[in-house]
Structure 1
Amino acid sequence: MSSWVNGYPADGVAVHDRGLAYGDGLFETIRVVDGSPRYAERHLRRLVHGCQRLSIPCEPDLVRSELQAFARSLGDGVAKLVLTRGAGQRGYGSPDPCHPTRLLLAAPAPAYPSENADEGVALYPCTTRLAEQPLLAGLKHLNRLEQVLARAEWQDRRYAEGLMCDTSGRVIEGVFSNLFMVIDDRLTTASLARCGVAGIMRERILDIAGQQGWQVEQEDIDLGQLWHASEVFCCNSQYGIWPVRSLQSHAWPVGPMTLKLQSLIAEPDIP
């Protein structure tokens, strides 16, 4: 069992599928442990929200039941859930009626070095910029070519992640993660009003920070603010939190707020 299409084992989609032709769809990358999808409800909420913004029909209960069954079959690993607008003829106009395609793809769990979480990682300064498009900002849509280009910029294993800015030079996120920093005792992350992905772990960290009563800001961040930060870390739903120890000539310690959040995200999530 490696892939399902619309609830059944399959290894391909229609050649006219709009996800293939135009990137017309969304995806979620979900860690599966002991047959259970982690953060399942957070992933499903984001998927439904994205479908609403793109006007793609979605059946949340059906998607949930298929994901749960697929996760039980997988056991341990990663389930990639993809939902496209479905097959259509040539041209950008949406098919009417629309019959979305649901895909579930299995992969082994990533094996990240433990020192990434314990000692921190070095970021590569990517020159590829994120385009500013508010209509797509925050969405985990299928067009990831900016990330493909950014990840191709380095092969040196000293770098576990890359920093991405937008076309105006604002600090936004990592290539496959969100970025947080502590500035003047405030937990700060980039505004995603123009571009970037609203990550599941980012959402969870913001929820935890609110429960702790910490001061939190989602705002435009320039490189000067990043250099001024006392702590920096990146996060995603696969590995949790990695402290950032360096970017170019700048270095940061593994700070107390980062350590506290690492311990808090290890606790059970509230759906």
Structure 2
Amino acid sequence: MLSWVDGQPSELLSVKDRGLAYGDGLFETIAVNAGHPLLLERHLARLAEGCMRLQIPLDLAAVRAQLLAFSQQLNEGVAKLILTRGDGQRGYTPPQPAQPRLILQAAAKPGYPATYAEQGVRLFACAARLAEQPLLAGLKHLNRLEQVLARSEWHDAEHAEGLMLDTSGRVIEGVYSNLFVVSAGVLVTADLSRCGVAGVMRAELLSQATAQGIECQVRDISYAELLAADEVMLCNSIYGVWPVRALLAHHWSVGPLTRKLQAIARDLLDG
């Protein structure tokens, strides 16, 4: 499968790379249609925010150029962009100056069953909890062991995603998705200032819903509020929006606001 390292076709990586040693870097998972990376500006903005907060030097114009060229060669699929701080010596001290490394990997788009979007999915109640770490909250950094442990909790085909709470019991997100609830016509998604990933599809849906006059709130969501919600849905930048139909013994119907956001996401991912 197509793979580039610093702009050159390669599958080789230095064992001194700090992304490998410490998870010292960031990544973006980007849908590509007809040679075009979708939601490009939101992906690049999140990458830039992450680099600023982690103090990783970023040549955004060079990253954009490489991603566009890579997407043209890929044409259809998923591009994973990984930016690490580059090579370093043993120890946590970051190299000065750092020489970041850009890795681009291609994959086919996942073949999710059509029923996930049409009828909704069942959530698995994950025991793994997200640690509250404001320093890293919202970033799509390379440290994903919490998600790895959560995803290892179920192996059946009945559950399409897992629900993740934080260590205080707040509802945060799915293992690889953001989560929305609808309560009395208000679209609500979790405050991600303590933990979680600020997804680009989440951001776009909030923006477009607000523009269409839908009341939106970003705040804490309790488990009790989740269960009492009128609608529950998941989103990410690859599959768009999935209704949630069940969690343990609790069930929800697929509602009109879920279908509206689903149509918005579908238009975005059609390119």
Whether these two folds match at TM > 0.5 is yes
1:253 equivalent in structure 2: 253
- Contact 2:2-2:106 within 8 A present in 1 as well: yes
Pairing of 1:98-247 with structure 2 (within 5 A): 98-247=98-247
What is the one-letter code of the residue matched to 2:168? Answer: S
**Which residue of 2 is the match for residue 54 of structure 1?**
54
For the 8 Å contact 2:32–2:78, the answer to whether it is kept is: yes
Partner secondary structure for residue 98 of structure 2: coil
The answer to whether the Cα contact below 8 Å between 2:164 and 2:173 also exists between their aligned partners in 1 is yes
Runs of 4+ in 1 over 4 A off after TM superposition: none
Q: Which amino acid aligns with 2:252?
A: W
Amino acid in the other structure paired with 1:241: V
Instruction: Confirm or deny: 8 A CA contact 2:187 2:217 kept in the other structure.
Output: yes
Paired residue secondary structure (1:122): strand
- Within 1, Cα distance between the matches of 2:268 and 2:94? 41
CA deviation map 1:33-86 (0-9, x unaligned):
111111111111110111001000001110001001101111111110000001
Equivalent in the alignment of 2:44: 44
- With normalisation by structure 1, the TM-score equals 0.98
Larger displacement relative to structure 2 (85-94 or 257-266): 257-266
Residue deviations 1:157-178, cap 9 Å, x none? Answer: 0000000000011000000000
Q: Note the alpha carbon deviations across 1:144-200, whole angstroms, 9 max, x for none.
A: 000000000001100000000000110000000000000122100000010000001
Provide the C-alpha distance between the structure 2 equivalents of 1:237 and 1:264, rounded to a whole number of angstroms.
12
Aligned residue number for residue 264 of structure 2: 264
User: Which one-letter code corresponds to 2:170 in the other structure?
Assistant: R
Deviations 1:209-254 (A, max 9, x none): 1101111111111110001100000000000000000001110000
User: Gaps (5+ residues) in structure 1?
Assistant: none
- Change over 3 Å in CA distance of 1:220–1:268 after alignment to 2: closer
The code of the aligned residue for 1:225 comes to E
Partner of 1:92: 92
After TM superposition, give the deviation of residue 204 of structure 1 in Å.
0.7
Q: Distance in 2 between matches of 1:267 and 1:109?
A: 17
Code of the aligned partner of 1:9: P
Q: Deviations over 1:113-139 (max 9, x none)?
A: 111001000000000000100000000
Tell me which amino acid in the other structure corresponds to 1:66. Q
Tell me the CA shift for residue 268 of structure 1: 4.8
SS at match of 1:266: helix
Counterpart CA distance in 2 for 1:18 and 1:133 is 21
User: Greater shift after overlay, 213-222 or 226-235?
Assistant: 213-222
Cα 1:110/1:268, change in 2 over 3 Å = closer
Cα distance change on mapping 1:234 and 1:268 into 2, 3 Å = closer
- The two structures, once aligned, show a CA RMSD in angstroms of 1.2
Q: Counterparts in 2 of 1:15-30, with a 5 A limit?
A: 15-30=15-30
Q: Secondary structure at the match of 2:130?
A: coil
Native 8 Å contact 2:38 2:268 kept in 1 = no
Give the whole-Å Cα distance in 1 for the aligned partners of 2:73 and 2:53: 31
- Hey, what's the Cα distance between the residues in 2 that align with 1:230 and 1:149? 30
* Partner Cα separation in structure 2 for residue 10 and residue 41 of structure 1: 26
**Distance in 1, Cα, partners of 2:266 & 2:79:** 21
What residue number does 1:12 align with? 12
- 1:266 shift after superposition: 2.9
Whichever residue aligns with residue 235 of structure 1, its letter is C
Structure 2 unpaired stretches of 5+? none
